[in-house]
């Protein structure tokens, strides 16, 4: 799919590429929870530093591509921070000193600190997501969820099969557009463009459903739904690296939350 960014895959083996995805999900959840339970900016600031260190030393991801990848997030962070400061409930508290006055809006210290905490929180979530999903591909994720968490295998591998079909949908989108132009359906003006996109989307979804039905039929023909117990081609077990990752991430989350300034 040309419009989609190329996946950020690890360029070298590293500590986290040898951990299982399920373990990274647990470890990442600890940071996610630590980042969202408090409005003190020091907590996400500490987690931000920890995430940078982990990305740098243990992820195996190409570090130079990360800033460009996260650039569009800048808008969301900026607006979340600014609006959190402007609309903060602390601004109405008359006992707090005014830090700044913008027209009718009065801004207090706690409002600024909470706004920074929310901006940093989003950065921590983005970096933690890279640490969890970056080091391995969807196939390993499915293997891991089925073998370690006993997610029903038909659902995990059925989803994986659907993921493999996804690139064809981009092709369908282009073909449908060409076919409509050939029929003289050239939209003019914004309303016509939206209607045109809606029509294309509907045809694309119909084609996706047809494809999924054929795929399901082919999978059933190979005994996908036979009910026979499935064995695993790639065996995954929770290893010492997983435990170390989980213990360290919980320790870092606890330290970020509870160590005094």
Partner 1 sequence: MNAFPASRHSAELFRWRTVDIVVVALLAVAFGVVFWAWGTYVWAWGSFLGPQTESLLTGVWLLPAVVCPLIVRRPGAALFGELVAAVVSALLGSYWGLDTLLSGLLQGAGAEVVFFVTMYRAWNPAVAILAAAGAGIGEATHDLIVSYPGIDYAGRAAIGAAEIVSAIVVVGIGGWLLVRALRQTGALQTFPSGA
CB 117 within 8 A of CB 44: yes
Least CB distance to partner 1 at residue 73 (A) = 5
CB atoms within 10 A of CB 47: 28
Q: Indicate the residue among 104 and 240 with the shorter CB distance to partner 1.
A: 104
CB 110 within 8 A of CB 156: no
Least CB distance to partner 1 at residue 45 (A) = 17
In terms of residues, how long is the chain? 261
- Among 63, 73, 197, 259, which residue sits at the site for partner 1 (rule: CB under 8 A)? 73
Measuring CA to CA, which residue among 7, 13, 235 is closest to residue 129? 7
Least CB distance to partner 1 at residue 3 (A) = 7
Least CB distance to partner 1 at residue 138 (A) = 6
Binding mask 138-167 for partner 1 (x = CB under 8 A): x--x------------xx--xx-xxx-xx-
Burial class of 255 by CB neighbour count within 10 A (0 to 12, 13 to 18, 19+):
middle
Helix H, strand E, coil C: the string for 159-212 is: HHHHHHHHHHHHHHHHHHHHHHHHCCCCCCHHHHHHHHHHHHHHHHHHHHHHHH
Least CB distance to partner 1 at residue 183 (A) = 17
Measuring CA to CA, which residue among 47, 242, 81, 224 is closest to residue 152? 224
Please state the separation of Cα 237 from the chain's center in Å. 24
Residue 114 as a binder of partner 1 (CB under 8 A): the answer is: yes
Residue 205 as a binder of partner 1 (CB under 8 A): the answer is: yes
Least CB distance to partner 1 at residue 255 (A) = 20
Q: Indicate the residue among 43 and 118 with the shorter CB distance to partner 1.
A: 118
Judged by DSSP in three states, 107 sits in strand
- Among 41, 44, 60, 115, which residue sits at the site for partner 1 (rule: CB under 8 A)? 115
- Among 68, 75, 182, 228, which residue sits at the site for partner 1 (rule: CB under 8 A)? 75
For partner 1, the binding residues (CB under 8 A) are: 1, 3-5, 7-8, 28-29, 32, 36, 39, 69-70, 72-73, 75-76, 79-80, 83-84, 87-92, 111, 114-115, 118, 121-122, 125-126, 128-130, 132-133, 138, 141, 154-155, 158-159, 161-163, 165-166, 169, 202, 204-206, 208-213, 215-217, 219-220, 224-225
């Amino acid at each position: 799919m040309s419009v989609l960014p190329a996946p950020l895959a690890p360029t070298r083996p590293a500590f986290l590429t040898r951990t299982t995805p399920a373990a990274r999900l647990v470890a990442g959840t600890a940071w996610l929870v630590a980042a969202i339970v408090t409005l003190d900016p020091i907590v996400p600031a500490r987690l931000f530093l920890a995430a940078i260190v982990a990305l740098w030393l243990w992820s195996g991801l190409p570090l130079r591509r990360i800033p460009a990848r996260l650039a569009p997030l800048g808008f969301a962070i900026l607006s979340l921070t600014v609006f959190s400061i402007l609309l903060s409930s602390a601004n109405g508290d008359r006992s707090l000193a005014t830090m700044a006055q913008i027209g009718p809006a009065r801004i207090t210290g706690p409002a600024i600190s909470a706004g920074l905490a929310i901006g940093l929180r989003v950065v921590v979530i983005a970096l933690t997501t890279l640490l969890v999903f970056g080091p391995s591909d969807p196939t390993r994720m499915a293997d891991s969820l089925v073998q370690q968490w006993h997610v029903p295998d038909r659902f995990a591998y059925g989803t994986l099969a659907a993921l493999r079909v996804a690139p064809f949908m981009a092709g369908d989108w282009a073909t449908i557009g060409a076919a409509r132009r050939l029929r003289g359906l050239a939209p003019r003006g914004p309303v016509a463009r939206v209607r045109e996109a809606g029509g294309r989307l509907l045809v694309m979804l119909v084609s996706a459903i047809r494809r999924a039905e054929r795929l399901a039929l082919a999978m059933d023909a190979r005994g996908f739904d036979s009910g026979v117990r499935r064995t695993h081609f790639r065996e995954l077990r929770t290893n010492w690296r997983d435990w170390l990752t989980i213990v360290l991430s919980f320790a870092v989350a606890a330290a970020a939350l509870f160590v005094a300034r």
